[in-house]
């Protein structure tokens, strides 16, 4: 089971099943990815490391499974699009985009598959995509090729009170092409758990001086919690600056939901592990900590992680260094500390891309982030030697839910006058989330 953390997580978090129907279980990315695995197995990331073919009895796949929200039917059914070939779908998407012109903006995260990202007007990491949504100009619809928390954030930013006033109250509709595109990490912290943790912490330490920081990979309710309690949102590209911001306003940080980003960033700022207790929301008392540990804390880390990035291991780094002298290790800060500490460079998806773009021909890299991005870098930089850091297929299966069929379906429904899969955050939650997001956008 070690190779199927998505499934393990699913079993530990039965609450996430609330919205699932049995037919949708069959439709979850895990099953689809198993089918696609035969193709993925051919990818160069394995070919470049053939001994793993021989030594691994069961090749493993690391994937995400997240809460699936109900999809809207739309005037035109999705079932009409699923049998179509990529060429036809691509042509229909391009024709639809032309018809809608500047009223439609397609945003794409770097982890999207190539066929989809080619149709994005703008691409970026989470921080850049938030900035783009906040300054969304003439568009009246954003189709977000990413995951649910990104679309929620885009809705909050594009429809803030200030932006609505500029457009005389006209809203920007934000669409997530497939409602199954969630984020298992975001699902690891529910608002009632965070509120319960806050109350328990308040029995031991002064929460007036505890600053909540939520990674952008979280539900809008958690962002609103941060807005209400003097806190802030961070992304992988500004986490250090955000934690510094927090320490100017309090003496402790409560960081959720990704323990790895919180730990890796804080370690670089001189905070030590003994000052960073991990809060387990399923533990009976104080998140599994003693009162002394909480009193001695500087950063309380939520016990959450990314199922994709946690599969990168220290032994992968050692093996690459042994077999490819001079190779540079480049990872995302969602990787565990053991990997982050050994890496040459750690940063957001944009930083990973910029680092490779700026490197000399012949540079050797082993990259620890989502498979689609690494394969795109390999394709775009044939002059460099790029390897995938793990023998495990680490793909964000929820990002992978966004395909050409769903994109064409959204666009053609839009033309037919129906907005499908609209993501609309409740006004009260949006208002307080906006406070925490505005602080994030001010911190570079
Ligand atoms: P970036 O903000 O670095 O693009 O990361 C988003 C993400 O979900 C990584 O897992
Ligand atoms: Fe969430 Fe991990 Fe996928 Fe990023 S890669 S969207 S953190 S599951």
* Tens digits of residue pLDDT in 198-223: 999 999 999 999 999 999 999 999 99
Angstrom distance (rounded) from CA 129 to CA 174:
13
User: From ligand 1's centre to the CA of 216, what distance in Å?
Assistant: 9
* Tens digits of residue pLDDT in 135-175: 877 899 999 999 999 999 999 999 999 999 999 999 999 99
CA atoms within 13 A on the CB side of 84: 20
Tokens read off for 22: 């049995």
Choose one of 117, 123, 126, 152 to mutate for the ligand 1 pocket test, by most ligand atoms within 8 angstroms of C-beta: 126
Name which residue leads in pLDDT, 335 or 28.
335
Collapsing DSSP to helix, strand or coil, 288 comes out as: helix
Q: For residue 257, say if its preceding peptide bond is cis, omega within 30 degrees of 0.
A: yes
Angstrom distance (rounded) from CA 167 to CA 289:
50
What whole-number percentage of the chain has pLDDT above 70? Answer: 85
Do 181 and 150 touch, CB atoms closer than 8 A?
A: no
Any atom of ligand 1 within 6 Å of the Cβ of 236: yes
Does residue 35 carry a pLDDT above 60?
A: no
**pTM reported for the whole predicted model:** 0.86
Does residue 42 carry a pLDDT above 80?
A: no
Nearest ligand to residue 310 Cα: 2
Sheet holding 141-145, edge to edge: 122-124, 104-109, 141-145, 173-175
Atom of ligand 2 nearest to the CA of 149: 6
Pocket of ligand 2, beta carbon within 6 A: 64, 147, 183-185, 217, 306-308, 334, 370, 396, 398-399
SS3 content of the chain, % helix, strand, coil (to 5): 50, 15, 40
Tokens read off for 426: 């409740």
Radius of gyration of the chain (CA): 21
Atom of ligand 2 nearest to the CA of 109: 6
First to last CA, the chain: 40
Atom of ligand 1 nearest to the CA of 370: 10
Atom of ligand 2 nearest to the CA of 186: 1
Angstrom distance (rounded) from CA 401 to CA 10:
18
Any atom of ligand 1 within 6 Å of the Cβ of 394: no
Structure-token match 């699913």, residue found: 10
């Amino acid at each position: 089971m070690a190779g199927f953390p998505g499934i393990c997580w699913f079993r530990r978090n039965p609450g996430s099943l609330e919205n699932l129907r049995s037919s949708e279980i069959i439709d979850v990315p895990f099953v689809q990815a198993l089918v696609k695995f035969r193709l993925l197995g051919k990818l160069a990331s394995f070919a470049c490391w053939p001994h793993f073919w021989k030594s691994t009895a069961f090749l493993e796949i690391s994937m995400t499974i997240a809460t699936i929200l109900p999809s809207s039917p739309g005037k035109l059914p999705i079932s009409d699009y699923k049998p179509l070939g990529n060429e036809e779908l691509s042509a229909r998407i391009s024709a639809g985009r032309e018809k809608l012109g500047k009223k439609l903006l397609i945003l794409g995260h770097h982890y999207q598959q190539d066929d989809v990202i080619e149709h994005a007007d703008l691409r970026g990491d989470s921080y850049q995509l938030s900035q783009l949504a906040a300054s969304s100009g003439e568009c009246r619809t954003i189709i977000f090729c990413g995951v649910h928390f990104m679309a929620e954030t885009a809705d909050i930013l594009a429809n803030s009170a200030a932006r609505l006033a500029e457009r005389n109250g006209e809203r920007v509709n934000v669409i997530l092409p497939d409602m199954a595109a969630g984020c298992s990490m975001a699902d690891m912290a529910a608002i009632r758990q965070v509120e319960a943790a806050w109350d328990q912490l308040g029995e031991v330490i002064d929460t007036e001086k505890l600053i909540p920081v939520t990674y952008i990979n979280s539900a809008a309710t958690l962002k609103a919690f941060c807005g209400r309690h003097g806190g802030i949102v961070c992304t992988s590209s500004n986490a250090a600056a955000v934690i510094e911001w927090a320490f100017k306003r309090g003496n402790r940080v409560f960081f959720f939901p990704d323990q790895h980003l919180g730990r890796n960033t804080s370690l670089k700022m001189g905070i030590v592990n003994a000052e960073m207790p991990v809060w387990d929301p399923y533990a009976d008392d104080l998140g599994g900590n003693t009162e002394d540990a909480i009193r001695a804390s500087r950063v309380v880390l939520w016990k959450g992680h990314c199922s994709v990035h946690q599969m990168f291991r220290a032994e992968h780094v050692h093996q690459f260094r042994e077999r490819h002298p001079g190779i540079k290790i480049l990872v995302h800060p969602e990787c565990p500390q053991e990997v982050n500490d050994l890496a040459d460079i750690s940063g957001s998806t944009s930083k990973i891309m910029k680092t490779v773009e700026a490197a000399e021909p012949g540079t050797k890299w082993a990259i620890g982030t989502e498979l689609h991005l690494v394969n795109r870098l390999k394709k775009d930089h044939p002059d460099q030697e790029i390897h995938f850091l793990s023998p495990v297929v680490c793909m964000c299966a929820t990002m992978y839910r966004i395909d050409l069929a769903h994109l064409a379906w959204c666009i053609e429904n839009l033309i037919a006058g129906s907005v499908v899969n609209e993501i609309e955050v409740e006004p009260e939650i949006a208002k307080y989330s906006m406070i925490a997001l505005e602080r994030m956008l001010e911190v570079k």
